[in-house]
């Protein structure tokens, strides 16, 4: 029996308080009675005794899953035999399976990782586990046994992707096998004990139909963006934390034609592209001696020697911004990336600051000229009050006037438009809709003139409204 089967069998036998989720502050009161239940206390003692007896052998890379499972079951049988409490055979088997799921899997958070409605799991301490569901934070009744239990789960995750976490390197970014993003912090940086944050990814990559159905972006805007990707427009996606930037980047990347060579560059691999000609590169942190680090900037520069048709950078956050702009300006059109910002104008300011982080003393005018020449489109996402993620602006960089980069809004978010909320029928107040502007018509004339395969009826997305310009 493999670990996945063990976990599936144990889910129905987990103590009920480990599956109850409540909004707001406190676990449900009936969950407290469970902690006074003799069987739960026995389970807690047995699991702690197992950790004490096995220690680091639980993470021995030389042991197969079957060997580790057999070892855990054997030790648990001995521990339970030493307990005075009388258990029936069914209770004994159920407890062994339940504890085995905690020990061999990811403990009490395993149930949330397998729940498709949960988008984020946050472990603040061994007895405070939060989740995000439908854009709302919720405190669960689940708990780790001890802070050391949290630490062991963290070490198991990071070891699987060849990374490390210890007192000399007390924070790490990693990923789960399904691509879910992991961040962990341990003491001395984490004052209250080890902390773990997991941003889950869907088991299957979202499609354009999913984005339209959930209301992230309307159909005409998706058509427009698809035409722009096929037309080799350089696109930057901006937005706050958790606004859906990587999700949208993955969908836009899927529009790249099959025959083109794509190089993706990420801190931790998250993108999942279906094209066959995809080269995935991942940054590497320094080793124990502080050597061997390969940064995003190193990978961007190396990718230029790999004959890419497209370069997709998961997130720009430092000096690699300069190398990315230079790539966009030297024949690598159609590149895509994301960055954190509150508005498209803020994104351009951040991009300018990140170029300066490359360590070159470039004048501001020169940097802005490079940005205006390299980047064609800005797509901005926001997280709305009801927890949904929306594209709230698509803007074209039209050039530079004096020292000011000019933006022309092609699609703007109308907060007064109550005709389209979330396409999924989400309950709650109307929050507006993304609407095209007249500026898009002139933009699409240039797209069609290049005969890049943009949909024939795309110009119908742009009504005759006034052109709006922002200045950054």
CATH number for the domain that contains residue 120: 3.30.450.90
DSSP-based three-state secondary structure for 405:
strand
Phi, psi (deg, nearest 5) at residue 87: -120, 145
Question: Which of these three, 146, 169, 199, is where a domain ends?
Answer: 199
Residue 94: the pLDDT is 73
Could you tell me which of 52, 199, 29, 48 has the C-alpha nearest to residue 130?
199
For 220-274, the pLDDT digits (tens) are 899 889 988 988 999 999 999 888 899 999 999 999 999 999 999 998 788 888 8
Verdict on whether the full-model pTM lies above 0.85: no
Residue 163: the pLDDT is 80
- Does residue 362 share a domain with residue 399? yes
- Does residue 225 share a domain with residue 80? no
Q: Is the peptide bond before 188 cis (omega within 30 degrees of 0)?
A: yes
Rounded Cα distance between 294 and 289, Å, is 14
- Does residue 139 share a domain with residue 117? yes
For the chain, the domain total comes to 2
Could you tell me which of 183, 187, 185, 186 has the C-alpha nearest to residue 175?
183
- Does residue 224 share a domain with residue 75? no
Residue 446: the pLDDT is 62
- Does residue 319 share a domain with residue 466? yes
Q: Could you tell me which residues come within 8 angstroms of residue 425 by beta carbon, excluding any fewer than 6 positions away? A: none
- Does residue 183 share a domain with residue 89? yes
DSSP character string of 8-19: HHHHTTS-GGGS
For 401-437, the pLDDT digits (tens) are 988 999 999 998 887 665 544 444 444 445 678 888 8
Helical packing angle, 219-230 and 245-253, nearest 10°: 60
Question: Which of these three, 147, 175, 199, is where a domain ends?
Answer: 199
Question: Which of these three, 154, 174, 199, is where a domain ends?
Answer: 199
Rounded Cα distance between 394 and 48, Å, is 54
Burial environment of residue 44 by CB neighbours within 10 A (0 to 12, 13 to 18, 19 or more): middle
Enclosing domain of residue 89:
3-199
- Does residue 186 share a domain with residue 216? no
Rounded Cα distance between 382 and 195, Å, is 27
Residue 63: the pLDDT is 67
Which residue numbers in the chain have pLDDT < 50? 1-36, 420-429, 451-460, 463-472
CATH number for the domain that contains residue 332: 3.40.50.300
């Amino acid at each position: 029996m493999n670990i996945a089967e063990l976990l599936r069998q144990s889910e129905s036998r987990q103590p009920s308080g480990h599956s109850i989720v409540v909004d707001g502050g406190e676990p449900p009161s009936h969950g407290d009675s469970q902690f006074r239940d003799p069987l739960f206390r026995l389970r807690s003692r047995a699991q702690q005794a197992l950790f004490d007896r096995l220690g680091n052998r639980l993470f021995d890379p030389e042991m197969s899953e079957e060997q580790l499972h057999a070892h855990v079951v054997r030790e648990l049988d001995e521990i339970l035999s030493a307990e005075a409490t009388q258990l029936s055979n069914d209770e004994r088997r159920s407890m062994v399976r339940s504890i085995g799921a905690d020990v061999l899997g990811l403990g009490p958070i395993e149930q949330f990782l397998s729940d498709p409605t949960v988008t984020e799991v946050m472990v603040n301490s061994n007895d405070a586990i939060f989740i995000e569901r439908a854009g709302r934070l919720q405190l669960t009744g689940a708990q780790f046994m001890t802070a050391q239990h949290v630490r062991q789960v963290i070490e198991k995750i990071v070891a699987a992707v060849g990374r490390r976490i210890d007192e000399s390197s007390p924070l790490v970014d990693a990923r789960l096998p399904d691509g879910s993003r992991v961040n962990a912090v341990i003491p001395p940086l984490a004052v209250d004990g080890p902390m773990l944050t997991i941003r889950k990814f869907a088991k299957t990559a979202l499609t354009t139909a999913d984005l339209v159905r959930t209301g992230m972006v309307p159909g005409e805007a998706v058509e427009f963006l698809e035409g722009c990707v096929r037309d080799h427009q350089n696109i930057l996606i901006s937005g706050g934390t958790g606004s859906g930037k990587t999700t949208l980047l993955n969908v836009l990347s899927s529009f790249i034609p099959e025959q083109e060579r794509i190089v993706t560059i990420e801190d931790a691999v998250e993108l999942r592209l279906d094209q066959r000609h995809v080269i995935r590169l991942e940054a590497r942190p320094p080793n124990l001696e502080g050597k061997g680090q390969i940064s995003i900037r190193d990978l961007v520069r190396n990718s230029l020697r790999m004959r890419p048709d497209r370069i997709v950078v998961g997130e720009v956050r430092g000096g690699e911004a300069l190398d990315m702009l230079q790539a966009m300006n030297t024949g690598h059109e159609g590149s895509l990336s994301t960055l954190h910002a509150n508005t498209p104008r803020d994104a351009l300011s951040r991009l300018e600051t990140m170029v300066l982080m490359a360590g070159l003393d470039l004048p501001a005018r020169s940097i802005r000229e490079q940005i205006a020449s390299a980047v064609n489109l800005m797509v901005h996402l926001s997280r709305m009050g009801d927890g949904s993620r929306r594209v709230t602006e698509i803007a074209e960089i039209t050039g530079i006037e004096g020292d000011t980069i000019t933006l022309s809004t092609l699609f703007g978010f109308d907060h007064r438009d109550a005709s389209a909320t979330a396409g999924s029928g989400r309950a709650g107040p109307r929050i507006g809709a993304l609407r095209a502007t007249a500026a898009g018509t002139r933009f699409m004339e240039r797209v069609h003139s290049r005969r890049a395969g943009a949909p024939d009826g795309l110009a119908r997305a742009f009504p005759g409204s006034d052109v709006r310009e922002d200045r950054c």
